[in-house]
Amino acid sequence: MVNEAIVGKEFPPFEFLVERGKIKEFARSLGDRNPLYTDLEIAKEAGFESVPAPPTFTASFLHQVPDENFLLNLMAEMEIDVARSVHGESEFEYIKPIVAGDVLTVQMTVKDIARKEGKRGGVMNLITTEATYTNQAGEVVQKDRMLFIERASVT
């Protein structure tokens, strides 16, 4: 059973450097060959301070977390049964461009827990988290919301 008392909990923040090579890798993994994501001069001509990160780039932050068990530890603290959990959806709120060289501080917060009757019976838990990304200048640049779904247990 999900720990409802965890709503509002902020997990310890962590930092990661936005690297130009990682931006290029991410864009290529999407099949996006736009030179904006690889060519500094083109990025500057477009008005960016450096090569910008493509939309949804922050989804890769899980590869930058302080330890490889971050997500499992997060789910354990929320008391989510990993074996019955799936990713429900992601939502990205873009506030300011993220560019190569930015040092982002990520603050994860549990925003909401809801329950819903499952189509195959039982109650599902819907857990919404929010990651807030703040750059080295103290500016919030993006917010990502993620929905975890813990399916009903089979009895």
Superfamily for the 4-18+64-150 domain: Hotdog Thioesterase (3.10.129.10)
The full set of domain ranges for the chain reads 4-18+64-150
CB neighbours (10 Å) of residue 19? 15
Taking the CA atoms of 122, 123, 126 and 127 in sequence, report the sign of the dihedral they define: negative
Task: Please name the residues in contact with 40: beta carbons below 8 A apart, sequence gap of 6 or more.
Answer: 20, 50, 51
Closest CA to 51 of 3, 100, 91, 89: 100
Position 140 scores a pLDDT of 98
Higher-pLDDT residue of 120 and 22 is 22
Position 155 scores a pLDDT of 57
Summarised one tens digit per residue, pLDDT across range 62-103 is 666 666 677 777 777 777 877 888 888 999 999 999 999 999
pTM: 0.87
Question: Sheet of 14-17: strands edge to edge?
Answer: 14-17, 103-117, 123-134, 140-150, 85-94
Residue 154 CA neighbour count, 13 Å, CB half: 4
Position 63 scores a pLDDT of 60
| Average pLDDT score over the chain | 89
